[in-house]
Structure 1
Amino acid sequence: MTRIGSRTTGRPTLAEVARLSGVSPITASRALRGVSTVAPELVEKVQVAAASLGYVANPAARALASAQSQSIVVLIPSLSNHLFIDTLEAIHEVMRPRGLEVLIGNYHYDIAEEENLIRNYLAYQPRGILLTGFDRSDVAKQMLAASGVPCVHMMELGGEAQAMSVGFSQQEAGRAAARHLLERGCKRPGFIAAQLDPRVMQRAEGFRQALAEAGMDAHAREMLAPQPSSIGLGGELFAQLLQRHADVDGIFFCNDDLAQGAILEALRQGIKVPQQVAMVGFNDLPASAHMVPRLTSIRTPRAAIGRCAAQALLGLLDGKRGQVQSQDLGFELMVRESS
């Protein structure tokens, strides 16, 4: 077979794929993008043709031809946090049947880095953007507003007028942790946190408010570290808190890995959990239910947030009106042996 290919690159073209598979270029494009309305037998023909030709899609050319890409941008602050992995998986599950590519930007909790990512991704004319929270630079906010690209915010609620958000109240989660420790009889509860991003500090504020309402010193027993959250850091912060406040009898950790590290450090020091110190984590990561003792934690709807945020964004792309601006998916306190 004589192959024409692109005049400029010599690479196989979509037109060749369509011709070889006996479908129109539009159908070939949709089949390769995974659009669910294309019949399975046609998808198979197009995929076989593409494979035989060595065809690779050119998203830049497609965006130029349509004045818009078929990409959705997702900006998250960490790829090492299990929380965001679950969310990303759910987003992919929603977007894939629509033939939309998911581009992931990791800004490492740095708003300047996020601003650069937003600037670079907007140049590719994405169909929509999923953002984590509301904390970003004024320049980033201006670029997003001027672009007209539909946006949905994840993990937090409210934050900006007319902004669509999917998440839960971080502050109420902190209050729930405090109330649980108080109900368990803790008289001197403490708080341990790392990373100190806006959502962590919202949880801290809720925790402090609940203690203040109970007549306790809200800041008396806290360890706040700017480093990334980890099991090792959790053990270190727990030991430091005990050195400073040996009377602490309950602790809320801003993330489960910190609490997991504290449980291991308590084991090393011969401290009984929860008899001497009760512990409550956050996010209910997979290992938490298997710790010794099993960790009490606040379960967050990570996958549901990704799924609902992606669906909300598709609604904006489809021009649907009357969507709920703020979707509160709530959280669940998983009471286990550590408290």
Structure 2
Amino acid sequence: MADVPERPRSRSSSQVTLDDVARVSGVSAITVSRALRGARNVAPDLQARVQAAVDELGYVPNVAARALASARSSHVAVLVPSLTNQLFVELLEAVQNALAPHGFQSLIGVTHYDPAQEEALLRSYLSQRPAGVLLTGFDRSAASLRMLERSHAPCVHLMETSAEPGIHSVGFSQQDAGRAIVQHLLARGRRRIAYAAGQLDPRVMLRLEGYREALRAAGCHDPELELLVPGPTSMALGGRQFEDLLARHPDVDAIFYCNDDLAQGALLAALRTGVPVPGRVAIAGFNDLGGSDQMLPPLTTVRTPRQEIGERAASMLLALMRKETVAERTVDLGFELMVRQSS
């Protein structure tokens, strides 16, 4: 039987390895590995040669093998409560933009404000040995805390700050921000100030504490003016809350909404029902979401630094993953009061 000549293997039928990239780029396999991880000690010209070889060969790193070899993957677990809130979309975008140039990709999990869902996500993601973890806030189950501790994965908390030893966090004081917006309304002569909220996650409740502190200090806090709804926030809910508050408490002269979508809905309801804003009632929101400055009238609100929080938290996590010293464990980026015509 005649020998059958061996058919040349196409690139798609062969597996390109790290050694292939090293051979084509003319550098060592170790240098290729460092370049692909975004290590700082790889010269720009070597980085360019490695990338050119990767592009030419169509090389795709074997993440599973790398994780086995190093006991860590090139992924970072990022858990946020919602993707329907523009706030967290902007936060994730900033995190991803900061991590990607260093060879890390985000494993995004949505907890829907449910500690049990967060626990399930952490159990799944931590089993993949992520290089690090970014978490929203501090409200989580005891089981989640145990898993995080035993994983030994570097972890940074977002949107809130903590002075507890060993905790790394980037955010601002939700309570101080809530107090500041109410103090603004008080300075404008408002005394019957309501708080309208949805979702009721820990950050919303911290804003409520700031609201209460400001009104108690002014001697005009009334628990009857707190309208707290556990469901998700929306413009429709904000409109219903606006009409409900004015129907039940005709003397209300200002409403602080826990999120801008609620306040935007309230402004639309005021237009629809002919209630003058701010002449009859002042309206204030929180987060300075897109469109708030275009409402009629433009919405007074609190601008929160979510993009900078994402960038600074990712930078802190990168340092922790490299086992570098972090100068500040707690970074408070503050907030900005955006005073517009609605108040």
* TM-score, with length taken from structure 1: 0.91
Q: C-alpha deviations, 1:136-177, integer Å up to 9, x for none? A: 000000111111111111111117443111111111111111
Contact 1:193 1:254 in 2 (8 A): yes
Structure 1 residue 117, shift from structure 2 partner: 1.2
Task: Give aligned-pair identity as a percent.
Answer: 55
Structure 1 residue 102, shift from structure 2 partner: 2.3
Whether 1:295 aligns to 2:290 is no
Q: 1:72 aligns with which of 73, 76, 79?
A: 76
Equivalent in the alignment of 2:64: 60
Structure 1 residue 255, shift from structure 2 partner: 0.5
- Matches of 1:162 and 1:32, distance apart in 2: 31
Structure 1 residue 197, shift from structure 2 partner: 0.4
The residue type paired with residue 121 of structure 2 is L
Computed over aligned residues only, the root mean square deviation of the Cα atoms, in angstroms, reads 2.4
Q: 1:175 aligns with which of 175, 179, 192?
A: 179
Q: 1:227 aligns with which of 214, 228, 231?
A: 231
The residue type paired with residue 267 of structure 1 is L
Contact 1:260 1:291 in 2 (8 A): yes
Q: Which runs of 4+ in 1 moved over 6 A?
A: none
- Greater CA radius of gyration, 1 or 2? 2
Contact 1:282 1:297 in 2 (8 A): yes
After TM superposition, the structure 1 stretch with the greater mean CA deviation from structure 2, 226-235 or 178-187, is 226-235
Equivalent in the alignment of 1:336: 340
Equivalent in the alignment of 1:14: 18
Q: Residue 4 and residue 40 in structure 1: after superposition, are their counterparts in 2 closer, same or farther (change >3 A)? A: farther
Contact 1:31 1:46 in 2 (8 A): yes
Which segments of 5 or more consecutive residues in structure 2 lack a partner in the other structure?
Answer: 1-6
Q: 2:131 aligns with which of 108, 127, 130?
A: 127
- Matches of 1:21 and 1:315, distance apart in 2: 29
Write out aligned runs for 1:1-339 (5 A): 10-35=14-39, 38-39=42-43, 42-158=46-162, 160-321=164-325, 323-339=327-343
- Matches of 1:281 and 1:63, distance apart in 2: 45
Contact 2:163 2:330 in 1 (8 A): no
- Matches of 1:66 and 1:286, distance apart in 2: 42
Structure 1 residue 337, shift from structure 2 partner: 0.4
- Matches of 2:251 and 2:30, distance apart in 1: 69
The residue type paired with residue 128 of structure 1 is G
Structure 1 residue 124, shift from structure 2 partner: 1.6
Contact 1:5 1:13 in 2 (8 A): no
* SS at structure 2 position matched to 1:166: strand
- Matches of 1:145 and 1:97, distance apart in 2: 28
* SS at structure 1 position matched to 2:334: coil
Contact 2:319 2:326 in 1 (8 A): no
* SS at structure 2 position matched to 1:179: helix
Which segments of 5 or more consecutive residues in structure 1 lack a partner in the other structure?
Answer: none
Contact 1:134 1:159 in 2 (8 A): no
* SS at structure 2 position matched to 1:72: strand
After TM superposition, the structure 1 stretch with the greater mean CA deviation from structure 2, 159-168 or 186-195, is 159-168
* SS at structure 1 position matched to 2:113: coil
- Matches of 2:40 and 2:325, distance apart in 1: 24
- Matches of 1:17 and 1:2, distance apart in 2: 20
- Matches of 2:215 and 2:174, distance apart in 1: 16
- Matches of 1:181 and 1:14, distance apart in 2: 62
* SS at structure 1 position matched to 2:82: coil
Q: C-alpha deviations, 1:300-332, integer Å up to 9, x for none? A: 111111122122222323333462232111111
Contact 1:5 1:16 in 2 (8 A): no
